[in-house]
Chain A
């Protein structure tokens, strides 16, 4: 009984930081409608700034003063980010906003590395709160009790701010109808900045408050983001009490998980989320979202047409060049090209649901990695022949996509994005923690192709055939009636329904196809590398492919392919630079703000403009 109580107290103490970070994210989303993926980065900044300040400032006053100052500092950084990065993209499609915040993650990662170095910092103990108190004989750290006491105070303060002050009233009004708030004379730009700063400050506070229980390291940003999203999704996006309840549930559950089911702590969280969402698709205290204020993929676009004669020539010439490549290229180039093709297929599969379906999936790596793991597991545990295991990859990934899609397709917009992200985390945590099957982060190794493919050139041809086949297959579907139905559902779901299209079912099918194709890419991948690790399922992997599609251009079919070629190409020398994340992050932010059409889109706009000028001159 006493042990039970102590466990609950530990859970409640852990909930403090989680709640702070999640409430900040929820608040920001409620008003700006932006899902700030960089929120974990503010948490990390809070930890580092906190450690630094605590080193400088002595004693009780220093410790608590440092925490408050940290909140202030991170809030200011948040305000800066909002003004520079987010203001230009409030009216842009959701995808662009998400990608922009991802750029911020990369930039902050490298800045933190520059300033604080790669070494983990241990948090200082809170002065005067080092020991334990005995509660029914069980030791409970004093600092835990303080945290438990602080959390409701913060919840109350936030509640007061939101419901009892003019600023809070304006914030709630803006959540509902920003334009009207502006028409009544309120400068919403500053309101947004204020809310973003407050949300960031909360994340920073969370990072600083957890220091005595943990520390500061460069992985904190991605490590917390999964749980924060789970909390916000379970609680209901935009709901502070919801975030509080969910943070408590998740933290307490985690503590008991560690005690009783140490292998499944991560999985447990996502299972709870899935259960909650089955019962309440918008979370415990969330409300149904009215369809996106800003369209999914932006302004009306040119219809996508099959290539004309010239386009077809270019594609055929390119394919011929690729087919002849082994005659001239060395092993290094061929291996690089295999990577490019695999990534291009992966990106094309995401592009398929994102561009044509308007479904911004943030967990697409689940299917790539899922396919790779399916093949690898078959080979590893049952010695399945490579050919069979390879075929299993797209099927397994397709099945996985059917399962995940069943939950996710019911939602749209950012909810869909969050949910796909959370489910991909579930798959990741399975691979990571189910050691007896997946060997955890030791990965599955020695997964080599069959003898007839076990050399670079044959495997290159195999990759080329499968990769190009997959991409052409996706292209074919886009130009088939199914593709038109998919796009109709994206552009005006209501009209599409009126025309007799079952939009959700079409999207569900498309999601499964995209998953299968990502799995196909995963299948090629695992045999080309000979191994697979949980990293292939990480959030960062899902982000990579999104970035690629985005950089290539969402509105052009070639976008994903070109983006993949571009990124894989530059990655090689880029990652040799010390601060490549900073460069890539700045590049992404710049593209979002300056050239939102991506590489292919911008080139085409340029091309059209040049042709236009030529025609003018000809006259």
Chain B
């Protein structure tokens, strides 16, 4: 469904992603693991063309993404949840969701505001509150719900468990499992190995923008040296 071929991405002169390639199949839930600064967020931004790769290809459902503006990528069915959440703090919860709304799409689950309020009951209670009045965990839920309003076929979740309370992390894990059950394809960037193992099928490990491992968690368990070298445990 998503295919990265030999991606090289830069911030100015800094070479961040170095010949990165991987595939994600439909219905898979994949973890993108790596330490701080490994390039996880940059990978997601490169898929979204927010940081367009200087060379290499990104294909989604057989269509080329490289060079498209970000809004086209989103319209093709990729939902992006940034790590810093970036909710619209001056807008209410309902208005935030409205910004994310896109028409229904074939081959992807369709979401309504009420369904999302079912998944995230906290948001339902605060529907008329402004974004800035919400706690970190609530903001994290809002940013996911907002992206789901676009009815994406592929969801890119950048560190959903970062900086939120353990109870909420657990709730988040349930949510992701629910999304998987709906048939959504998901890529999650994570540092929290436990969280990743609980919700995903496969791990891709990167370090300095290069792929170091790609396989199941059983395979990863068999190679503790990889885990020790590239993940902060």
Contacts and interface: CB of A to CB of B under 8 A. Distances in A.
Contacts of B146: 184
Interface stretch (B18-26, B84-92, B133-141, B221-229): B84-92
A173 interface: yes
A376 to B, nearest CB: 50
B99 A186 contact: yes
Given A176-B89, A187-B71, A188-B71, A169 B80 contact: no
A172 B100 contact: no
A184 B74 contact: yes
Contacts, number: 61
A249 interface: no
B50 A179 contact: yes
Contact of B90 (A176, A181, A186, A188): A176
Interface in B51-72: 69-71
Given A185-B102, A188-B71, A172 B90 contact: yes
A177 interface: yes
A187 B68 CA distance: 12
B71 A177 contact: no
A180 B86 contact: yes
B74 A185 contact: yes
Contacts of B101: 166
Interface in B89-109: 89-91, 95-96, 98-102
A169 B91 contact: yes
A262 interface: no
Contacts of B86: 177, 180
A170 interface: yes
Nearest to B88: A173
Contacts of A56: none
A456 B225 CA distance: 86
Interface residues of B, number: 24
A181 B147 CA distance: 11
A185 B150 contact: yes
B75 interface: yes
Contacts of A182: 69-71, 74
Interface string B151-166: 0000000000000000
B99 A183 contact: no
Interface in A349-375: none
A185 B71 contact: yes
Chain A, interface SS category: helix
Given A176-B89, A180-B86, A169 B95 contact: yes
B88 A176 contact: yes
B150 A184 contact: yes
Contact of A180 (B69, B82, B95, B102): B82
Interface string B105-127: 00000000000000000000000
B90 A169 contact: no
Contact of A177 (B88, B98, B100): B88
Residue of A166, A173, A182, A184 with most chain B CB atoms under a 10 A cut-off: A184
Contact of B75 (A176, A181, A185): A185
Contacts of B33: none
B91 A184 contact: no
A172 B91 contact: yes
A185 B100 CA distance: 7
A146 B82 CA distance: 50
Nearest to B45: A183
A183 B88 contact: no
A187 B72 CA distance: 8
B176 interface: no
Contact of A183 (B74, B91, B96, B98): B74
Nearest to B74: A185
B48 interface: yes
A169 B98 contact: yes
Contacts of B90: 172, 175-176
Contacts of A175: 90
Nearest to A179: B50
Contacts of A169: 91, 95, 98-99
Interface in B13-58: 48, 50
Interface in A168-215: 169-170, 172-173, 175-177, 179-189
Nearest to B98: A169
A188 B89 CA distance: 19
Given A169-B95, A179-B50, A179-B70, A184 B100 contact: yes
B98 to A, nearest CB: 5
Nearest to A191: B71
Nearest to A170: B99
B147 A184 contact: yes
Given A172-B88, A176-B90, A183 B95 contact: no
Given A172-B91, A180-B82, A184-B147, A166 B71 contact: no
Interface string A307-346: 0000000000000000000000000000000000000000
Nearest to A287: B90
Nearest to B152: A185
B97 to A, nearest CB: 10
A135 to B, nearest CB: 41
A252 to B, nearest CB: 31
B69 A166 contact: no
Contact of A186 (B50, B71, B82): B71
Contacts of B89: 176
Contacts of A180: 82, 86, 88
Contacts of A173: 88, 91, 95-96, 99
Contacts of B75: 185
A559 B74 CA distance: 43
B87 to A, nearest CB: 9
Contacts of B150: 184-185
Contacts of A188: 71
A180 B84 CA distance: 11
A351 B86 CA distance: 37
Contacts of A176: 88-91
Contacts of B96: 173
A174 B227 CA distance: 41
25 contacts: A166-B98, A166-B101, A169-B91, A170-B99, A172-B88, A172-B91, A172-B95, A173-B91, A175-B90, A177-B86, A177-B88, A180-B82, A180-B86, A180-B88, A181-B99, A182-B74, A183-B50, A183-B70, A183-B80, A184-B147, A185-B71, A185-B102, A187-B69, A187-B71, A188-B71
Interface of B: 48, 50, 69-71, 74-75, 80, 82, 86, 88-91, 95-96, 98-102, 146-147, 150
Given A170-B99, A185-B71, A187-B71, 12 more contacts: A169-B91, A169-B99, A173-B88, A173-B95, A173-B96, A176-B88, A176-B90, A183-B82, A184-B74, A184-B150, A185-B75, A185-B102
List the 4 shortest-distance A-B pairs measured between CB atoms, nearest first: A185-B74, A182-B70, A173-B99, A182-B71
